[in-house]
Amino acid sequence: MLQVFIQAQAWDFDDDALDAELDYVQGTLGATGVTLVAGCGPLAALRVRRRPDPVVVRTRGGLLFAPDDEACAAIRCRPIVAEIARGRNRLGAAVTAVRDRGLGLRVALSTLRLGRLAERHAACAFKNALDDVSPTRLCSTHPDVRAMVASLVAQVGRMFAPDAIVLHDWDLGWMGEATAGLTIPVADRDLVCGLLAVCFCESCRQQAAERGLDVDAAVRSVRVTLHNVLESGPAGVRSFAEHLAADPVLRAYVADQSTRLTRATAHLAGTCGIPIILHRTGREHADSLEFVQRSVTGVCWQYSGVEFPDGCELEFRVEAETVSRPQGLVADVGAATARGVTAVTFAELGRLTPPAGEAVKQAIRYARRSAF
Ligand SMILES: [Zn+2]
């Protein structure tokens, strides 16, 4: 049977809306489960449902529940609770209500973008070959970051006992974020962004050096390539993947990071006792997907209208196009399930205007008929 999840934020259930909203999710839309967000990065969201007027919700991000203080005391890269979640246990109430209705429950957790952690713990932050330290993104191979993610996964498992934990932004390099705010003045955007999305923080350098890799040569390679591309335009190499294939030093460096992330993820999945689903946007380093995919229970691929890998679930983000072209969503979801996709997620509840909700409802009905 096709599993259908609606992703929701705890604040979507404010104003005593919990029962009514779950009625809508289960009864009107026909979803089989809810994915509740338990930790997020900075975000601003326009919420439209059940409000006399639209509301903009802003948060600098962080955990959306009160963590276990004792467990957190042992974490060096210690997460903070988002301002928006302080004082009220909205997430706990939502978890209970979802379970009481017999709906499936998943918990989604931001990892590397979790609110303000990169800013507060610069030593754990992503750092590119130009020594630019990201204020918003942690390094996925840093031991303190891994310890933090492992602890949070364990805590979420204990507190909420979800059917699965969906890890967001747990990957190597995300081109959009590593270069956010930068104007890339050349056509080789993929190559420039890819190069700037390779981490050379102290931890990454040290771990690579311990494995006998030539870190200085890898840094030099990135800098020289950036210089050449920005100075004189393309040298016949178009994509980052093509560049890696032609650069054995940098390829070995990136492959080593992939291997270490894969092992860490496999360890996480092996110890937490709850299925781990990786959320992928399709913008991560392409070669990290295959490695990481093998180490977890599932992959939730954010569908963007382009080809998606076999064996993954799909997430559909409900945007303006959904409202103006609802038949597009119905066709995309139907085609995915006809191809064997067994679970889909719609993100997210607070963004569902009446017409968008109608499109999601139709898509779910049609997909059920198309599913195996
Ligand atoms: Zn690093």
Determine the distance separating the centroid of ligand 1 and the alpha carbon of 284, expressed in angstroms.
Answer: 15
Q: Give the domain range for residue 18.
A: 3-178+260-370
Q: How far apart are CA 30 and CA 18, in angstroms?
A: 16
Confirm whether 192 is domain-assigned: no
164 within domain boundaries: yes
| Tokens read off for 280 | 């992928």
Number of domains in the chain: 1
Cα–ligand 1 centroid distance for 149 (angstroms): 15
Among 160, 146, 183, 181, which Cα is nearest to 271's? 146
138 CA distance to ligand 1 centroid (A)? Answer: 8
**Of the candidates 272, 334, 322, 319, the residue with the CA atom closest to the CA atom of residue 297:** 272
Interval between CA 262 and ligand 1 midpoint (Å): 15
- Separation of CA 206 and ligand 1 centre (Å): 9
CA of 97 to the centre of ligand 1 (A): 40
Contact 163, 142 (CB under 8 A): no
14 found inside a domain: yes
Say if 105 falls within a structural domain.
yes
Query: Is position 315 within any domain?
Result: yes
- Please tell me the distance between residue 215's alpha carbon and the centre of ligand 1 in angstroms: 12
Whole-angstrom distance, CA of residue 103 vs CA of residue 95: 10
Give the separation between CA 153 and CA 157, rounded to whole angstroms. Answer: 6
Residue at 215 is within a domain: no
230: helix, strand or coil: helix
In the reported structure, the alpha carbon of residue 280 is separated from the centroid of ligand 1 by a whole-number distance in angstroms of: 19
Q: Does residue 193 belong to any structural domain of this protein?
A: no
d(CA 254, CA 95): 39
CATH code, domain carrying 122: 3.20.20.80
Q: Which helix (H) or strand (E) holds 97?
A: helix 90-100
How far away, in angstroms, is 285 Cα from ligand 1 center? 14
Ligand 1 geometric centre to CA of 15 (Å): 42
> How far is ligand 1, taken at its centre, from the CA of residue 211, in Å?
15
Give helix 248-272 / helix 215-232 axis angle, nearest 10°.
120
CA 247 to CA 287: how far, in whole Å?
Answer: 14
Ligand 1 centroid distance, CA of 222 (Å): 15
Query: Is 30 part of a structural domain of the chain?
Result: yes
Whole-number Å distance, alpha carbon 199 to ligand 1 midpoint, is 5
Output the pLDDT for position 157. 95
Question: Residues of the chain whose pLDDT is less than 70?
Answer: 173-181, 185-187, 233-237, 285-293, 371-372
For ligand 1, the distance from its centroid to the CA atom of residue 212, given in whole angstroms, is 17
Gap from CA of 145 to ligand 1 centroid (Å): 10
Contact of 220 with 130, CB cutoff 8 Å: no
The structure tokens listed for 367 are: 């997909």
Q: Kindly give the distance from the C-alpha atom of residue 275 to the centroid of ligand 1, in angstroms, as a whole number.
A: 26
Ligand 1: centre distance to CA 343 (Å) = 33
Cα separation, 49 vs 262, in Å, equals 39
pLDDT for 237 equals: 60
Q: If you measure from the C-alpha of residue 200 to the centroid of ligand 1, how many angstroms do you get, rounded to a whole number?
A: 5
Helix axes 189-196, 215-232, angle to 10 degrees: 150
One-letter amino acid at 301 equals W
Ligand 1 centroid–CA 16 distance in Å is 43
User: How far is ligand 1, taken at its centre, from the CA of residue 63, in Å?
Assistant: 23
